[in-house]
Structures are given as structure tokens and as C-alpha cells.
A and B are shown apart, each in its own frame.
Chain A
Amino acid sequence: MYTIKRGTCCLHRYSSKIVYLERYFSSKRVLYHDNALSAGERSKYSHAVSSTDAIRNQLELDENLEGFFNEDVVKNVKRSNAQTKSETNTTNKDLVSMDPSEIPIYDEKGNCTTPGISTFKSEKLSFVENGSSPIPNERTSEINDELNGNQVKNATKDNNQFTLPESFSVGNLKRFLDFFHKGDSPDPNKIPANAKLEQFVDSKLPMVFISRFRDPRINLSIERYIYNHLPDAKKHQFAKRLVLYRNAPCIVIGKNQNPYKEINLHLANILQIPILRRYSGGGTVCHDLGNVNFSFMAGKSLFNRTGFTNILIKALNSIVDKEYANLEFPKFPLTTNAKGDMVNAINQHKVSGSAYQLSKGRYLHHGTMLLNADLHAMSGLLHLSPEKKACIEDKSIKSIPSPIQNISMDPELFEYCCVNSFSSTYGVPSFLHRSTKSNLLDLKFGNAECRVMKLDNISDLPEEVINEYKTFKSWNWVFGRTPKFKLHFKVGEDLEVCLHVHEGRIVEMETSREDPSLAKLRANLGNVYFRGSEVSCYVEDADIAKGFEWNIDQGVHYQESLGLQLN
């Protein structure tokens, strides 16, 4: 909506004015609270038209917010508070409430000639300044075309079923995508000036963190670090988090699950698919790049299994079958089922899985969203023969397979919808310091504002994330942490074996008959790790050793194939 390219501007001069008017009024909404207020209501709020007053109102809501406004403005608020005058039309030179005469006038080259607007323009329209978009991405040019021409066409259609709801905010989508891809093509003259994760992890305001890493272990480590550092919700009620990430193909099991019973280790070994154990409950899921993970964090007193899901569903259902800039939009409405999962409202197929973690004063809800995932590969990795499953006797959490479906939506559009729903619901009405860091973006939806941080440089991550990473990479956590279980199997014709496994080690062995080749293993019970290759070293008969190895883990190469660190 903000894209007014030089040269093309004269053609669209009129339309850009309309666009500007729209933006002008949407910016006014911040002050009036709602554009749709009636005249009477508006006069009720008219005392709050100056931004100083708006900030004063917010400071009254929570004085902890003080640190987040421009110091000058806060000073002004305090000064005007000190004056006990009843009139409230204090004006601030920088953030003075606008009047319609300030609607910008563009010259032939598209430069704004209205005094007082230029700063506003350079701030909001930074990507226009270069004349070309910083994104060498096809999709952005499509969006630019759309913004420049087609949009106007669309808007003039009567009864247009493709019109996006106002809450969708196309302008913010553009800013988001720009921000998301900023720096994708390195510039030799510009070293990105990034903020560090640790500087913002304990922010008292709502924050969205978007990881551009694809390593599932890095992403889960980042998520855990952010969760552990969530400020106390009792003191900082605005401190909520949304973490978004996409993982390269991997398998993630629930905290109390048995990977030997959930995963086709043979296939995972061949395809070199990493296996991770997460800290939240629930069942096993496969991830790939066609799946977006979202993680919502808030104070424990707000714990609600479908709280965030419902907000998201509302946003997604409002854009079903819409069209915009060749982006893929959802094709069917969603709803939640009895278990709190997001499902296709028409055929009840699951499109998203959820898991939760509750800790002192905080909770985490993370969900997967199937957009364009390879469902066939997924089902293969989680497919075990019933005979194999029957070999394992345990009390761990069992995954419940459900029919699944992709929502065939553009991943970045989905991420934007997550940011949009989070910010609109939990954002703070404020005037944040505009950040100059290249990995920070402040987005405003209606009168709610929220900061988005992009994580795309490993050196911006603190040591603690790396420590978490080591846990996710360790065999002891992923396999060793399996709740105790028994494995039954048969070697050769008559040797029946039952191994008792606890904390990653074989602690007991029952056999149908005494076999001399098992003496060494029996002598070492309690010390031998439950790993095929290791156990087979303690078995002194080659065939029996092979039988043990295959039945334990199908001879998986934990280090070479799954990338795990052994003890």
C-alpha cells in the first residue's frame, strides 16, 4: 500500500493520495482508539487526541512502560502532568496531531513536497527510497505490481469477494516481507547492525521472535531460552512471546515418549533425519520446511489450551479463498476439535498439532502447522510394524495417529498471520522507540503495537542457547531419557530375550535359556548402554550379536546418521 515508485508515481498520483489518506486515517485510529467511533464518542475521546495524552494514558495503565517511550515524550508527559491545568491540548512538536492540510503532495518524481511530512515518509517508506525493493525476490516484485496497479483495480470491483479484511493490513504484510528478506543478498558496504537476542529476551513488552535458522536443534534451543527468560507475568503483564521457526526435516518426540516405539529408526538412519526430544508433552511429529512451528508463551494463570489457536483460526478464516499478489491463501475454514487441535472444519482432518509445557509462573503452547509438508514421507518415518510395536512394553506416552492435511498456504503469509493475530491481541498501544537495528521491526495493527525480532546470525545468540543446543544433541537426552521399558525379542529358533531398560542402560536381562555367549553382557548389566552396536560387543556369538543389534535399534548410527553426541 505504501509503495509509490518513482517515475510511476505521476500515473498513480491520485491513487497514492487515496492510499496516503487511508494511512493517515489508520494512524489517527491510534489516537481515537477506533476509526469507527461515532462523533459523540469521538468527542468523548477528543481529550486524548495528542500523542502525549495517549502516552499518558498508557503510563497510567502501567508505569513500567515508561522505558519504552522516547525520553523526550515521557519528559513532556511528566511536565504536562506537573502543570495542573485542566486543558489537555499540550502539543509536542514531533508528535503533533495531524490536520488534513498535512496530506502530502507529491511532485512529478514522486518526492513529497509537503513540509513536515518528510520524516514520516522516510521512516515509513524506507524501502521506497532506493527506487527498488531490497528484496531480489520474485514475490516482492509481484506484490509491488499489485500494490501499484492491480490493487486499485481490485478495489473498484463491486462486491469483491477477494477483498482482504482491514485487519489483515496489506501494508504491514509488505513491511514484514521486506524486513524478513532484508539482508538476503549481502551488500559489501553494509555490515548488518543486529540487536542481540539477550538484549530483548527479557523485554517487558510483547515480542515476536522469528528464527531464520533451519537447524531444528538451534530452533528448539532458542525457543527454550526465550521460555526460560520470560519475565514474571505477575509483575509484567504485557510480557508475552511468540516464537516462529521452520525446521529442516526432523522428527520431534514428546518429553515422555519412547523413540524406539514411535520412530522407524531404520528409515531415519538411511535418510539421516535428526531426532529430537522436546520439553513439552504430547506425541511424535515430523517437521519439514512445509511446516511452520509457532510457540506462544505467557503467564501460567492464562493457561488455556486453545487460547492462541482460537485467535489464529479467526485470522486464518477471515482470509480463506482470498487472493493477493499470487500468494497462496488457505482454501478451507478451520476449527478446533475436542482435543484442542486445529482441524479442517469440513472434513475434520488435523492440520496442526499442539503440545504444552507448564512451569513456575509460565506456560508454553507450541503448535505445528502443516502448510505444504511432505505427508507421505512423514507417515513413512513414523510407521512401525505392529509386531515391532508389540515388542516394547512400557508406560510412555503413545502418539495417536490422526488423518492429516496440508492447508496449502504460503509459509511466510502464515507467519505474517501469526504475527498479526499475536500483535493485534497482545500488542501494547504505544509509541515504541523506532529501532535502527536491522533485525528489529515494530508493527502496528490498529492501536496495538508489537516488536518483531528476526534471528539470523548465530553470533547474536547467547552462550545459554548453545548449552541448550548441546542437550538437544546428546544421546543421553534424546534416547537415554526414555521412560523405563522392556524389549522382548527372539534370536534364532529358541532364544527369547527380554531386556529391561532404564536411563539408557540395560539393567536386567531375562532369557528363555542360559547361553554362554551372553555371560559377558550379564556381568555388565547396569553399565551397558542400550545401543545395538555397543551391546553386540558384549555378545560373543556373531549371529546372536546381530539379532541383538537389529532388535535394539536396527543398527542405527547415532553419530554419523542422526548427528547425536554419545556420552
Chain B
Amino acid sequence: MSMFRSSVQIARFAATKASFGARFAYKPCVGLNLARFESSLSDKNSLNTKSIAFTYSKGPVTVKYTPEHEWVSIHPDGTTFVGITTYAADALGDATYVELPSDLIDQDVEQGNTIGSVESVKSASDIYSPVDGTVTEVNEVLDEKPALINEDPMGEGWITKIKLSDGFKDDDLLSKEEYVKLLEEADE
């Protein structure tokens, strides 16, 4: 079977590489400027340090990511801000509606639960909770101005505030380096 295994890997590698070329392909500009795109991946997907998602507390603020292209900024009192990354916002295109978890306020959510969606160009994209906790607030500005998701996805375009439940460990979440690496691999 060892003969099988090596060729399986090669075949899979080739298939993955081909398939990722098509990722978000409707936006023709995304894949083209690869060099510029990659060099700025890390900067682009950083939290806006002037926004409330960062300035809410004196810190230290931990920023984590998920493979579903969400970010979460964790403050010392257990308050977190959740949103989608710049990469995701760019890929989805102009947001026309943000479904906020207003019906979940004061309710407990678990990591991976669906807590809302972003609609853009006829696509409804689900948003998942990156943490375990209680939804405490939604960003109502997005109701009036969904475009904020594209303008400042990692700052004023935060979607919801979740208070971490006791003992939640962020081990499953990605660091910025890990997330950027995932993006680079995806666009290779």
C-alpha cells in the first residue's frame, strides 16, 4: 500500500492547487495581483487599533482568527468583539445586508454555532461564533450601513460582542501568523 500512499498525496496536491485557483473567481482582480496581495496579507488582516474593537479596554488585547475567516479580539475582562476578516470582506464583495444576532442577545452560544450572516451580491454567507460565551451586544450601525463591513471589517465593522464563558480556552483559534499562512497556501 505504500506505493498507493505517495501517489495519493501527489494527486491530492495537484487537485488542491488547481481548485484553489478558482476560489472566489468571480472577482477577477483578486487572483491577479498576487505579489502585492500576498505582501499585504498580514497588514490587511490586522485589527484596526483605532476602533472600539481594540480600544475597548487598556489591554492586553489578544486577536485570534478562524479558518472560516472570522476574527475575535479578546479583552482582559472576557469581552470579545467578533467580525469577518478583510480577506473575507474583499472576497464576498459589497455587503448589502448583515444579519445580526439580535435575537441571541443574552443567550449562550458555543464555538461553531451560526450567529448570523452577511449578504453580498446574492450570496448569504454564514457567520459562526469563534468562542463559547454569551452574546451581549450587536453592532446596530451595520443595520443602517452594511457597507461598513467592507470599509472597516476589522474595526468599526465588528458584528457582535460576546462575553466569554468561564474557562474558555482559545487553543483552537489561529494566531495571525497561522491565519496569514492559511491564506498564502490558499492562493498559491
Distance (whole angstroms) from the CB of B29 to the closest CB of chain A: 14
Distance (whole angstroms) from the CB of A492 to the closest CB of chain B: 32
Closest B residue to A298 using CB positions: B19
Closest B residue to A398 using CB positions: B96
Chain A residues positioned under 8 Å from B12 (CB to CB)? 62, 237
B24 touches A356 (CB 8 A): no
Q: Is A396 an interface residue (CB 8 A)?
A: yes
B4 touches A60 (CB 8 A): yes
Taken together as a complex, chains A and B put the C-alpha atoms of A260 and B133 apart, in Å, by 35
A360 touches B117 (CB 8 A): no
Most A CB atoms within 10 A — which of B112, B120, B186?
B120
Distance (whole angstroms) from the CB of B141 to the closest CB of chain A: 12
Most B CB atoms within 10 A — which of A59, A61, A396?
A61
B124 touches A304 (CB 8 A): no
Chain B residues positioned under 8 Å from A397 (CB to CB)? 96-97, 119
Taken together as a complex, chains A and B put the C-alpha atoms of A62 and B68 apart, in Å, by 26
Taken together as a complex, chains A and B put the C-alpha atoms of A282 and B120 apart, in Å, by 8
Chain A residues positioned under 8 Å from B108 (CB to CB)? none
> Knowing A237-B12, A255-B124, A395-B146 touch, does A306 contact B19 (C-beta < 8 A)?
no
B20 touches A357 (CB 8 A): no
Main secondary structure of the interface of A (DSSP, over half): loop
Q: Is A281 an interface residue (CB 8 A)?
A: yes
How many residues on B have C-beta within 8 angstroms of the other chain's C-beta atoms? 35
> Knowing A306-B26, A484-B143, A503-B103 touch, does A60 contact B8 (C-beta < 8 A)?
yes
Taken together as a complex, chains A and B put the C-alpha atoms of A434 and B107 apart, in Å, by 51
CB interface residues, A 291-347, toward B, < 8 Å: 299, 301-307, 339-340
B19 touches A302 (CB 8 A): yes
A303 touches B23 (CB 8 A): yes
> Knowing A60-B4, A237-B12, A395-B97 touch, does A281 contact B20 (C-beta < 8 A)?
no
B8 touches A62 (CB 8 A): yes
Taken together as a complex, chains A and B put the C-alpha atoms of A339 and B120 apart, in Å, by 12
Partner of A59, one of B4, B19, B117, B122: B4
Closest A residue to B22 using CB positions: A304
B97 touches A355 (CB 8 A): no
Distance (whole angstroms) from the CB of B99 to the closest CB of chain A: 6
Q: Is B32 an interface residue (CB 8 A)?
A: no
B124 touches A358 (CB 8 A): yes
A63 touches B96 (CB 8 A): no
Partner of B126, one of A256, A358, A395: A358
Taken together as a complex, chains A and B put the C-alpha atoms of A279 and B126 apart, in Å, by 10
Taken together as a complex, chains A and B put the C-alpha atoms of A305 and B23 apart, in Å, by 10
CB interface residues, A 233-284, toward B, < 8 Å: 237, 254-256, 279-283
Distance (whole angstroms) from the CB of A189 to the closest CB of chain B: 47
B7 touches A60 (CB 8 A): yes
B26 touches A340 (CB 8 A): yes
Chain A residues positioned under 8 Å from B26 (CB to CB)? 304-306, 340
Distance (whole angstroms) from the CB of B1 to the closest CB of chain A: 8
Taken together as a complex, chains A and B put the C-alpha atoms of A151 and B68 apart, in Å, by 53
Mark interface residues in A59-103 (1 if CB within 8 Å of B CB, else 0): 111110000000000000000010000000000000000000000
Residues of chain B having any CB pair with chain A under 8 Å: 3-4, 7-8, 11-12, 15, 19-20, 22-26, 68, 96-97, 99, 103, 112, 114, 117, 119-126, 128, 143-144, 146, 186
The 3 closest A-B pairs by CB, nearest first: A282-B122, A356-B123, A305-B26
Residues of chain A having any CB pair with chain B under 8 Å: 59-63, 81, 237, 254-256, 279-283, 299, 301-307, 339-340, 354-360, 395-397, 483-484, 503
